[in-house]
A and B are shown apart, each in its own frame.
Chain A
Amino acid sequence: MKRAGMWVGVWALVAVAGCARRGPAPTAPQGPLQVITLVEPMRWLVERLGGDGVVVTRLAPAGEAGLHWRPAAADVQRLQAADLIVLNGAGVEQGLALVSLPDAQVVRTAAGFREQWIPRPVAAHRHGDGPAHSHGAWEGYTWLDPLLFKRQAEAVRDALVARRPALKAAVEARLAELATRLDGLHRALDAQAPALRRRPLLASDRIYGYVAQRYGLSVRAVPLDLEAPPDEATRAALVAAVAGTQARVMLVPRLPAPAVQAALRGLGLEPTVVAPGLAEGASPGAALEGWLKVPPAPE
């Protein structure tokens, strides 16, 4: 609990710091840029860099992460009328894949590093007697890798400045500050990586792929409901995973319910909150800060 309180505190500090940068909308000659996003990290990033020069709307309803959310016709009309649509790409915002978007207004911030996208294994299927095939999918959550997230921030910078050249100096300054923090985070994670590499890690969700890729970690996802004690099938999967990997740490995006914590500890796994920003309403900055606190795997 003490550790969880620390993560919440870190998140709150960053969130407050982020909020403090926001102020009343200025009366710019062209008016603030109307920006639409779907997932929280992109909303946070645009607001962080654009400051008062942007009005960001996260189109997905509250409580909806935005990964699979499909917009209704009225939502698509709002998208078509936006000055800028900032998407993550890389398999995120799947609900927009088959929507008539105005490409000139769309920025997919992860498009610049497509070669680093991580393919997600998906079920193959056949139509009748046709050949087996799958439709391809990518792991999302690119923003958990500080260096990739910096590139996404640069893509947002380019998009904002291209549409509002007057914002250039302010956006560049905000980007420089964010980049400094992300570089520092990367150095810290890089320093911790050798210790983390000693033993595989388990995770309750498949969100840590890009962090694992960056720092050479072995993270195995075992889907886990954080609110209810694991059922027999999940317990069996956890036992098998622990036996197979000798993992001692289970990465979770928020603190599990006490019964779940007890069950994990009973299996020799310490639940460790990483990236609390993935919870609805929090910021990826907090998620990244949270990752800094991951303890080395026990000897």
Chain B
Amino acid sequence: MTPRHALALAARALWHSRGRTLLTALALALPLALPWAVHRLSDGYVQGLAARAEATPLVLGAPGSQVDLTLAALWLRPAPLAPLPASVADAVRAEGLGGAVPLHLRYSARGRPLVGTRVDYFARRGLQPAQGTHPLQLGDAVLGAEAAAALGLGVGDRIITDAAHPFDLARSQPVRLRVVGVLAPTGGPDDGVIFTDVLTTWVVDGLIHGHRDPTRGDAGEVVLGPGDAVALDLDPARLGQFHPHGDLADAPLTAVLVFPTDAKAKALLAGRLGRLDGVRVVRPDQVVAQLAGLVLKLRRLLDAHQALVAASTALFVALVIGLGLRARAAELRALVDVGASRAAVVVLQAAEWGLIGALALALAAAGAALGVWLLPDPARWT
């Protein structure tokens, strides 16, 4: 009997009992698919983390969890972080060793994170508008590609910020924003958020507001009447009435992204900025390495578990093969009786189990691919 004949006979035998064949293949495929999918997802997660961290050399924040700070600053997720004064960004620039990009991550609009930053952020991340422009003035908003599609908004539309804190109604207040641009998709966390200038988020904070300008007169006290009501609709025609309510050097930021000019500047900045009062310097690559290490440890644990499952499965398969041979003893004897050699019978059985194994592998690969496709992008899990 040639291998080809053996495979053909085995295939016919398996097809004859196709229900049992599929069940056996699935039983083998599941323990294979799970670790396969986990490896692919964890690899993507770690690579995504590392790429984002590599593009962001240093992050400044208030003292607290460096993991929370890194995840918020790099993946633009609102987080309960203590605020940092805006003057910290100026302090970074004053060092002359690199750029500083502020981030304000306290608010949202229609459920999407509202990211207050400066136009420098778009240059640093390579974010170009597919429609419209970057934010130009107070009240301008630019949508990430995925956020624009999900919200059904485009240039010229309006969007109102969400009431941020139910118990903080006295300060933060919803503001109507103008959509002036939609960014080209990047496949990263920038796609799912709404960008605005950090000044606009300070309007939501109540630190910038609009009424007629009392600074044009001499010193003295002016009581603003109903006609001077604070305006929260950032209509371009009224922007001239808006002004900071105090020194914006003290305005709150969630984080400051620092982009040193080179490795030496990075080391110098990390040292100098770390001496500022109330400022924590975080190296995202180190935080991400810790996170990746944790992921890999969990993966090893899962691998060990899967190895035990695989061993258990192998024992069950051996048992199934043994019971199968016993159940099919009469059939196998009949094959010998009609002239088949014992070797041919062994080859036939090996072909059957080889085909089941191949089917199990194919099902495992398909299952792993389906799992990776159905689960969200690991880069957005944070």
Query: A residues engaging B (CB < 8 A)?
Result: 70, 73, 76-77, 80, 97-104, 111-112, 121-128, 132-137, 158, 162
Instruction: Check A73 against B223 for contact (C-beta < 8 Å).
Output: no
Is B111's CB within 8 Å of the partner chain A?
A: no
Instruction: Check A77 against B96 for contact (C-beta < 8 Å).
Output: no
Residues of A within 8 A of B214 (CB): 122-125, 134-135
Instruction: Check B219 against A121 for contact (C-beta < 8 Å).
Output: yes
Most-contacted residue by chain B among A76, A123, A136 (CB, 10 A): A123
Is B208's CB within 8 Å of the partner chain A?
A: yes
Residues of A within 8 A of B101 (CB): 103
Instruction: Check A126 against B123 for contact (C-beta < 8 Å).
Output: no
Select one of B119, B134, B221, B242 contacting A124, CB under 8 A.
Answer: B221
Majority-rule SS of B interface residues:
mixed
What CA separation (Å) do A97 and B244 show in the bound complex? 9
What CA separation (Å) do A68 and B78 show in the bound complex? 36
Residues of B within 8 A of A124 (CB): 214, 219-222
Residues of B within 8 A of A158 (CB): 96
Is B245's CB within 8 Å of the partner chain A?
A: yes
10 contacts between A and B (CB under 8 A): A76-B136, A97-B244, A98-B243, A100-B199, A103-B89, A111-B90, A125-B222, A126-B222, A128-B224, A133-B245
Instruction: Check B215 against A102 for contact (C-beta < 8 Å).
Output: no
Is B112's CB within 8 Å of the partner chain A?
A: no
Query: B residues engaging A (CB < 8 A)?
Result: 89-90, 93-94, 96, 99-101, 118-120, 123, 133-138, 140, 197, 199, 208, 211, 214-215, 217-224, 230, 239-240, 242-247
Select one of B93, B96, B136, B208 contacting A103, CB under 8 A.
Answer: B93
A97-B243 in contact given A76-B136, A123-B214, A162-B96 (Cβ < 8 Å): yes
Instruction: Check B199 against A98 for contact (C-beta < 8 Å).
Output: yes
A102-B118 in contact given A97-B244, A122-B214, A134-B214 (Cβ < 8 Å): yes
**Residue in A closest to B213 when the chains form the complex, CB atoms:** A135
Instruction: Check B223 against A125 for contact (C-beta < 8 Å).
Output: yes
Select one of B119, B211, B240, B242 contacting A102, CB under 8 A.
Answer: B119
Instruction: Check B137 against A137 for contact (C-beta < 8 Å).
Output: no
Instruction: Check B246 against A121 for contact (C-beta < 8 Å).
Output: no
Instruction: Check B119 against A98 for contact (C-beta < 8 Å).
Output: no
What CA separation (Å) do A100 and B94 show in the bound complex? 20
A135-B244 in contact given A76-B137, A98-B199, A101-B118 (Cβ < 8 Å): yes
**Residue in B closest to A158 when the chains form the complex, CB atoms:** B96
Select one of B100, B137, B215, B247 contacting A123, CB under 8 A.
Answer: B215
What CA separation (Å) do A10 and B158 show in the bound complex? 56
CB distance from A107 to the nearest CB of B (A): 9
Residues of A within 8 A of B90 (CB): 111
**Residue in B closest to A107 when the chains form the complex, CB atoms:** B93
What CA separation (Å) do A89 and B32 show in the bound complex? 65
Instruction: Check A80 against B244 for contact (C-beta < 8 Å).
Output: no
A73-B137 in contact given A104-B99, A135-B246, A158-B96 (Cβ < 8 Å): yes
What CA separation (Å) do A79 and B215 show in the bound complex? 26
A80-B119 in contact given A111-B90, A124-B221 (Cβ < 8 Å): yes
The A-B contact count (CB < 8 A) is 104
What CA separation (Å) do A137 and B247 show in the bound complex? 9
CB distance from A96 to the nearest CB of B (A): 10
Instruction: Check B224 against A126 for contact (C-beta < 8 Å).
Output: yes
Select one of B134, B230, B240 contacting A80, CB under 8 A.
Answer: B134
Residues of A within 8 A of B244 (CB): 97-98, 135-136
Instruction: Check B135 against A123 for contact (C-beta < 8 Å).
Output: no
Instruction: Check B246 against A123 for contact (C-beta < 8 Å).
Output: no
Residues of B within 8 A of A126 (CB): 221-224
Instruction: Check A123 against B222 for contact (C-beta < 8 Å).
Output: yes
Residues of B within 8 A of A73 (CB): 133, 136-137
Instruction: Check A103 against B221 for contact (C-beta < 8 Å).
Output: no
A103-B120 in contact given A98-B199, A135-B246, A136-B247 (Cβ < 8 Å): yes
**Residue in B closest to A105 when the chains form the complex, CB atoms:** B120
Instruction: Check B134 against A98 for contact (C-beta < 8 Å).
Output: no
Residues of B within 8 A of A101 (CB): 118-119
Residues of B within 8 A of A123 (CB): 214-215, 217-222
What CA separation (Å) do A197 and B247 show in the bound complex? 34
Instruction: Check B100 against A137 for contact (C-beta < 8 Å).
Output: no
Most-contacted residue by chain A among B89, B138, B223 (CB, 10 A): B223
What CA separation (Å) do A133 and B138 show in the bound complex? 23
Residues of B within 8 A of A80 (CB): 119, 134, 136
Residues of B within 8 A of A104 (CB): 93, 99, 120, 123
What CA separation (Å) do A97 and B123 show in the bound complex? 21
What CA separation (Å) do A206 and B68 show in the bound complex? 50
What CA separation (Å) do A135 and B208 show in the bound complex? 10
Residues of B within 8 A of A100 (CB): 118-119, 134-137, 140, 197, 199
**Residue in B closest to A127 when the chains form the complex, CB atoms:** B224
**Residue in B closest to A80 when the chains form the complex, CB atoms:** B119
**Residue in B closest to A137 when the chains form the complex, CB atoms:** B215
Instruction: Check B215 against A134 for contact (C-beta < 8 Å).
Output: yes
Instruction: Check A135 against B245 for contact (C-beta < 8 Å).
Output: yes
CB distance from B207 to the nearest CB of A (A): 11
What CA separation (Å) do A136 and B244 show in the bound complex? 9
Select one of A102, A122, A128 contacting B219, CB under 8 A.
Answer: A122
Residues of B within 8 A of A162 (CB): 96
Instruction: Check A121 against B218 for contact (C-beta < 8 Å).
Output: yes
Residues of A within 8 A of B138 (CB): 98-99
Instruction: Check A98 against B140 for contact (C-beta < 8 Å).
Output: no
What CA separation (Å) do A97 and B208 show in the bound complex? 11
What CA separation (Å) do A97 and B240 show in the bound complex? 10
CB distance from B310 to the nearest CB of A (A): 54
CB distance from B134 to the nearest CB of A (A): 7
CB distance from B289 to the nearest CB of A (A): 28
What CA separation (Å) do A122 and B218 show in the bound complex? 6
For the complex of A and B, 7 pairs with smallest distance between CB atoms? A121-B219, A123-B214, A125-B222, A122-B215, A76-B136, A100-B197, A125-B214
**Residue in B closest to A108 when the chains form the complex, CB atoms:** B90
What CA separation (Å) do A101 and B101 show in the bound complex? 12
What CA separation (Å) do A294 and B246 show in the bound complex? 38
